[in-house]
Amino acid sequence: MSSKVLVVDDKQMMRDSVGATLQRGGYQVIAAPDGATALSLIARHRPAAVITDLKMPEMDGHQLLVRIRQADDHLPVILMTAYGTIDAAVQAMKDGAFDFIQKPFEGDQLVLAIRRAVEHRRLLDENAALKTNARAADNSMPVLVGRSPVMRTLAQQIQQIAHSHGTVLISGESGTGKEVVARTIHAHSPRRDHILMALNCAALSSSLLESELFGHERGAFTGADQLRKGRFELADAGTLLLDEISEISPQLQAKLLRVLQERQFERVGSSMTMQVDVRVIATTNRDLTHSVAANEFRQDLYYRLNVLPIQLPPLRQRVEDIPLLAEHFLMQVAMREGREPRKFDPEAVQLLTRYPWPGNVRELQNICERASVLARGPVITGGMIQPWLTQAPPTAAAPSPFIPRGGAVSPTVTITAGNRLEDFEREQIVRTLGQFNGNRARTAEALGIGVRTLGLKLKKWKEMNLVAQTI
């Protein structure tokens, strides 16, 4: 968190004296001669605390307090008062001031008051961030386990990247553990004592995503009945994980580029520019170079994100790690349920290592948990898990109609020498939509693409009359 303290006083000598005392106490000091300047500096520098004189012309300390509370009710304000203004200071405390300190005061007294205020701010921000980022407490996610050569290389790469502050782009198929790698990087980084915020960019509409990222002012739009801080603001001094970055709209891509370049943004509905110090880790299950070539993703944003790239291998490329991962997941289930862990027999292990794992590590974890729960004894046999590893995905009895180029309805996916790749992709998407009764979120998850990507494809095909308008 910021160690900046804003000192507000209309007298230069007082600003210099208080500033020098706080600098000796280890704080970075910014100063303002009046309330209007103070509000501008707060928006720009986001100090951890404010100490202001109560008696000032134009906007006094009490009025400044009210304005600060409207903009940021977590920012602690300490009032400096003279003998004759104690009653006013007490009233200011009732209106939300953190503390007041009576002139003349000792340097140690001033530093102690600021230290308490800064710690108070830290606890409030941390609590708000933890509430917003409840996913961080999810211990059920797969962890980075493996001793294969590719995983040893990856572990070394993660260690090097973790110690830097550069932006990271993690690419890999769905289920390969991109979020786990991101959390590992944060846990070993210089920012590990600060919050890690996570946001799934594919799960929200463009307008909601903008508000989640940058926050909004009260009254910024219908339903915005109170000020809300965004993920960038809450993650200040920490790390922001943007999951499935390829799914954000072009408008938000431009705003995100600005934050990465200038570390500045405005809340929705506000003209005040805020500064943040946030490390961004982005993940994607798509090849962004292809998205750039197709004009679906900004090239300049891609280069800003791709400072420290990490490519995660699919599970089928590190077969030697499968037994170790399986053992780890069985142990997780046993610890959660308070019993001895199950074990796979040799036949089951052989089946696990031969399976191609289209769902990667996440699919392996699901199989291990299912087997651990359903097994009647301590040993999980190959015969038990074999149906789960060979069973084809269920098909819908009546899939949504697909209108191919020839105009006939095709309920199934057929690959022939005349099919173009896009035709096959379209048939697969339409069939999967039918399987999930038109649910786009479930369809996108099953296909390993983002909801926005799915929507764009369907929109294009509808305009070309290649799929039914009812899809």
> Averaged over 257-262, what is the pLDDT?
93
Residue 157 sits in the same domain as residue 299: yes
Q: Which of 48-52, 101-105, 189-193, 418-422 has the highest mean pLDDT?
A: 48-52
Residue 417 sits in the same domain as residue 443: yes
Report yes or no on 319 lying in a domain: yes
pTM over 0.85: no
> Averaged over 50-57, what is the pLDDT?
92
Alpha-carbon torsion, ordered 360, 238, 39, 99, to 10 deg: 130
Alpha carbon 110 to its chain's center: 37
Residue 41 sits in the same domain as residue 160: no
Task: Give the C-alpha separation, 369 to 405, whole Å.
Answer: 44
Residue 170 sits in the same domain as residue 199: yes
Q: Check which CATH number belongs to the domain holding 105 and give it.
A: 3.40.50.2300
Instruction: Give pLDDT, residue 468.
Output: 75
Which has more pLDDT, 319 or 404? 319
Report yes or no on 56 lying in a domain: yes
Report yes or no on 349 lying in a domain: yes
Instruction: Give pLDDT, residue 449.
Output: 78
Report yes or no on 382 lying in a domain: yes
Q: Check which CATH number belongs to the domain holding 283 and give it.
A: 3.40.50.300
Residue 190 sits in the same domain as residue 326: no
Burial of 260-271, coded b for 16+ CB within 10 Å and e otherwise, reads beeeebbbbbbe
Q: Check which CATH number belongs to the domain holding 364 and give it.
A: 1.10.8.60
Identify the CA nearest to 321 among candidates 285, 357, 369, 283: 357
Residue 283 sits in the same domain as residue 369: no
Residue 237 sits in the same domain as residue 368: no
> Averaged over 54-82, what is the pLDDT?
87
Instruction: Give pLDDT, residue 413.
Output: 40
Residue 373 sits in the same domain as residue 302: no
Residue 246 sits in the same domain as residue 194: yes
Q: Give me the number of domains the chain comprises.
A: 4
Q: What is the pLDDT of residues 128-150, one digit of tens each?
A: 666 555 444 444 343 568 888 99
Instruction: Give pLDDT, residue 137.
Output: 42
pLDDT beyond 60 at 401:
no
Domain boundary among 70, 102, 131: 131
Residue 198 sits in the same domain as residue 88: no
Q: Are 358 and 285 in contact (CB under 8 A)?
A: no
When mean pLDDT is compared across 15-19, 30-34, 122-126, the lowest value belongs to 122-126
Residue 208 sits in the same domain as residue 298: yes
DSSP state of 246: G
Report yes or no on 204 lying in a domain: yes
Which has more pLDDT, 134 or 52? 52
Instruction: Give pLDDT, residue 129.
Output: 63
Q: Check which CATH number belongs to the domain holding 405 and give it.
A: 1.10.10.60
Task: Give the C-alpha separation, 11 to 21, whole Å.
Answer: 16
Instruction: Give pLDDT, residue 325.
Output: 93
Range of the domain at 101: 4-131
Residue 167 sits in the same domain as residue 197: yes
Both tokens of 436, joined, read 């999930």
Report yes or no on 137 lying in a domain: no
Task: Give the C-alpha separation, 87 to 450, whole Å.
Answer: 59
Domain boundary among 390, 416, 445: 390
Q: In terms of residues, how long is the chain?
A: 471
> Averaged over 452-458, what is the pLDDT?
83
Q: In this structure, which amino acid lies at residue 300? A: D
Q: What is the pLDDT of residues 270-281, one digit of tens each?
A: 888 888 899 999
Report yes or no on 140 lying in a domain: no
Mean pLDDT of the chain: 83
Write phi, then psi, for 361 (nearest 5 degrees). Answer: -65, -35
Which has more pLDDT, 180 or 464? 180
Taking CA atoms, 37 is separated from 30, 259, 281, in Å, by 11, 24, 34
Domain boundary among 131, 157, 183: 131
Report yes or no on 138 lying in a domain: no
Q: What is the pLDDT of residues 311-366, one digit of tens each?
A: 999 999 999 999 999 999 998 888 888 788 899 999 999 999 999 998 899 999 99
Instruction: Give pLDDT, residue 339.
Output: 82
Q: Quickly tell me which residue has 């200011």 as its tokens.
A: 92
